Structure formats: C-alpha cells, structure tokens
Structure 1
Amino acid sequence: MRGGGGHYGENSGSTREFISHAGAGASAGAIAATFVCPLDVIKTRLQVHGLSPGHKGSIIITSLRNITKTEGLRGLYRGLSPTIIALLPNWAVYFTVYERLKGMLHKDDDWSDQLSTGANMIAAAGAGIATSITTNPLWVVKTRLQTQGMRPDVVPYKSVLSALSRITHEEGLRGLYSGIVPSLMGISHVAIQFPAYENMKCYMAKRDNTTVDKLSPGSVAIASSVSKVAASIITYPHEVVRARLQEQGQAGNRKARYGGMIDCLKKVYQHEGFPDSWNEFYHRTRNAPILSRNRVIREQKRE
C-alpha cells in the first residue's frame, strides 16, 4: 500500500506498535499526573478563580496549606481519576492519528527524508483535534472536580461516572463539550511542541554526528523540555479560557458568566488585564506571587 499506508504500514504501523506507543504514553502520563496532581489542582483553581485580593507569600505553599486544611489530603488529588482514565484513549488517539497523517504526508517516492516542519505541524494539529474531540468530556469532569471544593453552594460530584451522568442530564451534550473551542484553538500547542521537538532532535543528532534514535537520554530530555516550555508560554492563555468555560456549568441554574470564548477573552482582559491573565503560568513556573496593584483595587471595588 502507498499514500495512507506505504512504508508507514511496513515500518511503524503495526497494531503492536500502536499499543506500545499508547501504553507507554499513558503509563508515563499516569505517573507524572500522580506526582504533579496537587500543583495541577492549584493551577486549575487559579485559572478559574484567580488570586484572592491582597494575597501575600508563596501562592503554591499557601494554596497547599489551605486545601489540606479545608479539604484534607483528598483535596490535593481532585481530578486525578478522570485524568488517568483519559490518558490511554488520549495517547491512543493521538499517536494513531499522528503516525497515520505522517505516513500520508510522506512523499510516495522517498521515505528516507524527515518530514518538513509544515508537514509535522499538520500531522500534530490533526492528531490534536481528534484527541480533543474524543476526550473533552473527561477533561470537563477533571476541571470541575478540581474546582468544586471552592463552590460550597453546589452539590458536588461523587465520582467520574456521577459527574458524566449529571452533566449529560443537566446540561446535555453542550455541557460535556464546554470549552471545546479554546481546546481546539490550543491545538497550536502540540503543533508547536512536536515539530520543535523533532527538529531539535535532528539538530542534536547532526551536531553529535549520530542518528536520532541513538541520541542520549539527556539530549532527548533537553529537546522535550525546551519544546514543551516554548509551546506552553506561547499558547497558555487558551488554558485560562478553557478552564473557565468548562467550570462555569457547575454553578447549576445560575446564569453563565461567559457567553463563549470571545466573551471570556474580553471579560478576562477587561476585568483582570493582559498581564494578570498570565499570572497563573508564572506562579507555576517561578513559584512567586505576581499580582498587580490595579487588580487588587478592582477586586476590592467589586466587593
């Protein structure tokens, strides 16, 4: 077979390799998600609710103490279940579509050359779109479980299945796919990260006069880290918008605060400003409180 199959089907398209890639990605993701879950809970809450007016000290340490005090150790691991459940289908869909698209984008007469940056971006974006559409309901549940401890006035979800059932019953398909538009916009993250990752590996291989598959673990780690950080910084605002749209349905019958992605962007910018919309990212990466004086004043006025 050529085109969609070709050498791709002969070299890397076997079912065993798909399962191997998906399993490896899911396993590594599960381990990482478990270790960083407390930080992920803090990040999501900051994205949705922002910082308290007049906050002082380390946001991470303060948040960890507050969550442990009010919700116990369990509060630090809210949202871990849907994250782990979503990992296998997430990586299975991603790797399958990504490799298939790479195979389709290869020239029929030359399978030895690396794909161009543009072709890699198309493959990564297509795989990201398929993954977002497939797993979005589970990420909605994750966001709501992580933030429901800050909404004492609503009936909490008891489990992942309970959350999926209630969202379907109370909000319908729209609730399960809340935040899907900024999620799709965020595909630019993987479209930046994976091509950058592969190009960095090729550069390192040429520099070290070796092949990509023989790069040292240190070189691979550097390429992975740099590409991830660069993509995260560039695309971070979409995460704030996505989290707020996914969470607002948990308020029950209250009128939605945001009418959609554009409305959310406008309101975040108007009420919190451009610099403040990036605060959560800097808190996570620099472990330092960043809160503009103007925002404190605005919050106090609204109260």
Structure 2
Amino acid sequence: MAQVGVVSEVVEVVKVKEGKKGYPFWLGGVAASFAASCTHPLDLTKVRLQAAGDKGMISSMRKTISTAGIRGLYDGLTGTLLRQMTYSMTRFAAYDWAKGVVHKGPGPPPGYKMALAGCIAGTLAGIVGNPAELIMVRMQADKAKPVSDRYNYRNSIQGIYRMTRDEGLVSWTRGMVPNVYRSIFTNMSQLASYDYFKRELSHRGILQEGPFLHFFASLGAGTVATTVCSPMDVLKSRIMNAHGAGTTSMMEVIRTSLAKEGPMFVFKGWVPAWTRLQPTTILIFLTLEQMRKAVDGYRSSGEEYL
C-alpha cells in the first residue's frame, strides 16, 4: 500500500545528528500504543462528547458503563492500536528525519525549525494514518448512537475491509483534510514543544536529564498541544463520524456547528481531551525515553541488531 511506501522512505533516512545511529523507527509506535492502551477510556469519552452528542465527561462515562459495563470503556481499542502503529510510528520517525533536513548547522535546531520539522512529520503521519483514524473514531462513537446508525465493526481490520467494500477506496480519504491539519498542529505543538521545554529546563539548570525532566517537558507539551489542536480535532471527529458514503465538507460542518452551538464549539471536549492527551503525552515520552535508553545500553554492550 502507498502508506507502507511512505513509511519505508522515511525510515531509510531517519538518522540522528552528528553521525549517531538513529533509533529504530518503530519505537514511537510502540510507546504510543502502550500509552493509548492506558488512556483509551478517556479518548473514547472525548470522541463521544465531540461526535455523538454526549453531555459531560463523567455522565458520558457513566452512560457507557451502564449500557456496556466496564469493558465498554475499551470499545474500539483495536482501532486505537492500528492508529498508533501507523500514525504515531510515522510521526516520530519522520520528525527525527525532518530535524536533520531542516537544520544543518552546529548546535541544536532553533524552535521555529523544530516546529517546521513537526509540520513535515504531521503531514506525512496524517496521510498515512487516516484510514486507521477513521476506523478508530467510528468504533469509539458507535455505541453512543442509535442502533440503526451503528457501523458494528468487530475490529479494526474488519472495519477497514467493510468500509472499503461498502464505500470504496475513496473512503480512506474521508476527513483527511482536517485530519492532516490537526496532525500538523499536533506535531508542531507537541513534538516541538517537548523538545523545547526539555532543552530549556535542562540548559537553565532547572532539571537534569532523567524522568523528572521528561515528565515536566511532556506536561508542558500536552497542554500546548491540546489547546492548539482542539478546533481541528472537533471538526475531524464530526466529519469522520458522519454516516453514509457521501462527503461532508469542513465548511458545512463549521456553518452547522456555529449556528447550533456558537464559536466555542471548537473547544467542546477540551477538558476530556486535555485529561486524555496529558497522561498520554507523559506516558509516550517517558516510555519512549526509557526505550531509547535501553537501546543505547544494548548498543553499548556491543550488540548491533538495533
């Protein structure tokens, strides 16, 4: 598939500056999968608030538990994992590569170059991960809708098959525009701000390299990313969750939402989005940094397989 080709091209050129061997391209996907598995109930609630008309984070979670039990909080988990191993794997690999492309000079890249690298990574990841993103949103919102409007996908792979069979390959691009924009904003704000906060906290002598530094850098990155990404996240969820094979334009969704809810609709679900993204961001970077440390230790022992 085209997505695999894009990932392969990025992976071939992922190298860390100063000649150091790049980390395995899949580390970001594994770290994100672990984090998403831990915070899936919050992500599920966020999508249902944005797209299925639920009111309030706590009441939405209670509704889910009352109708489907605790297990219901993990509806669509396979879609989430497929999304992380496409979207997240691509964005981390592409970001490391893009930093080396946009910054050739000595020293660390300045903030605007890190943001540019995040934009490049977000564009590639948004395209590669769009089908999985679409399946994830549909599976998460499904049981909050009337029975007649449900997709009833058993898992993400069967969902991809049924979506392609019923709606054609063009369905893979549904919601891609807002998804790519959101991906650009996410990676520009989250990845770049994490690097920025980590560097500033370290260089100013506030924190030394280690878990505390990674925690507070990711705390700042998660807050920045939630605020920047909220408008595109809401639009993406509403477009992707629209039923039927037709295309719902971004402008149509904006006009309808503005008329019914006013301009603040773009921040609907901000609290559960922050509550979900914050621990997710912390878990991703803490896990990723530990995995990188483990790879460094493995290599320093003389092994060459990673």
Task: Give TM-score, length-normalised by structure 2.
Answer: 0.77
> Of 224, 228, 234, which aligns to 1:234?
228
Percent identical across equivalent pairs?
A: 25
Q: Deviations over 1:94-120 (max 9, x none)?
A: 23222222112222xx4x411122221
Partners of 2:15 and 2:73 in 1: CA distance: 48
Residue 153 (structure 1) aligns with = 148
Match of 2:113 in 1: 119
- Shift, 1:209, TM fit: 7.8
- Residues 118 and 187, structure 2, Cα contact 8 Å, conserved in 1: yes
Specify whether residues 145 and 195 from structure 1 end up closer, same or farther in structure 2 by C-alpha distance, changes over 3 A only: same
Report the counterpart of residue 237 of structure 2 in structure 1: 243
2-side partners of 1:244 and 1:106: how far apart? 37
Aligned residues: 261
Letter of the 2:193 counterpart = A
Structure 1, residues 144-186: CA drift from partner, whole Å, max 9, x if none?
1111112300452222222111111222233222111111111
User: Which residue among 79, 82, 92 is the counterpart of 2:79?
Assistant: 82
Equivalences for 1:28-67 in 2 at 5 Å?
28-51=31-54, 59-67=56-64
Q: Which residue of 2 aligns with 1:176?
A: 172
Contact 2:223–2:274, Cα closer than 8 Å, also in 1: no
Q: Quick one: distance in 2 between partners of 1:10 and 1:77?
A: 43
Matched letter for residue 177 of structure 1 = T
Cα pair distance change 1:6/1:245, threshold 3 Å: closer
In structure 1, what residue type is equivalent to 2:24? F
- Describe the shift of the 1:190–1:6 C-alpha distance in structure 2 as closer, same or farther (beyond 3 A): closer
| 8 Å contact from structure 1 (residues 137, 164) kept in 2 | yes
Whether 2:254 is the aligned partner of 1:261: answer no
Q: What SS class does the counterpart of residue 11 from structure 1 fall into?
A: coil
Cα 1:236–1:95, aligned 2, differ >3 Å: closer, same or farther? same
Structure 1: 4+ residue segments shifted above 6 A: 4-7
Distance 1:199 1:158 in 2: 41
Q: Of residues 178, 184, 188 in structure 1, which corresponds to 2:185?
A: 188
Q: Which is worse superposed, 261-270 or 66-75?
A: 66-75
| Alignment partner of 1:136 is 2:145 | no
Which residue of the partner structure matches residue 203 of structure 1?
200
Output the CA distance in 2 between the equivalents of 1:275 and 1:7: 41
SS of the residue corresponding to residue 61 of structure 2 reads: helix
Cα distance in 2 for residues equivalent to 1:6 and 1:238: 31
Displacement of 1:5 in angstroms is 8.4
Any conservation in 1 of the 2:33–2:81 contact (CA below 8 Å)? yes
Separation of aligned partners in 2, 1:66 and 1:284: 18
Alignment-mate amino acid for residue 240 of structure 1: V
Rounded Cα–Cα distance in structure 1 between residues aligned with 2:15 and 2:135: 40
Give the Cα–Cα distance (whole angstroms) in 2 for the partners of residues 113 and 178 of structure 1.
Answer: 41
Deviation at 1:137, TM superposition (A): 0.5
2:276 is equivalent to residue 282 of structure 1 = no
Q: Which amino acid aligns with 2:179?
A: S
Q: Matches of 1:244 and 1:38 in 2, distance apart?
A: 19
Indicate if the aligned counterparts of 1:18 and 1:92 stay in contact, CA closer than 8 A.
no
Does residue 26 (structure 1) correspond to residue 29 (structure 2)? The answer is yes
* 8 Å Cα contact 2:86/2:132 also seen in 1: no
Asked if the contact 1:124/1:191 (under 8 Å) is kept, the reply is yes
How far 1:6 sits from its partner (Å)? Answer: 8.7
TM-score scaled by length of structure 1: 0.77
SS at match of 1:76: helix
User: 5+ residue gaps in structure 1?
Assistant: 53-58, 288-303
**Compared CA separation, residues 232 and 175, structure 1 to 2 (3 A):** same
| C-alpha distance in structure 1 between counterparts of 2:30 and 2:127, whole Å | 22
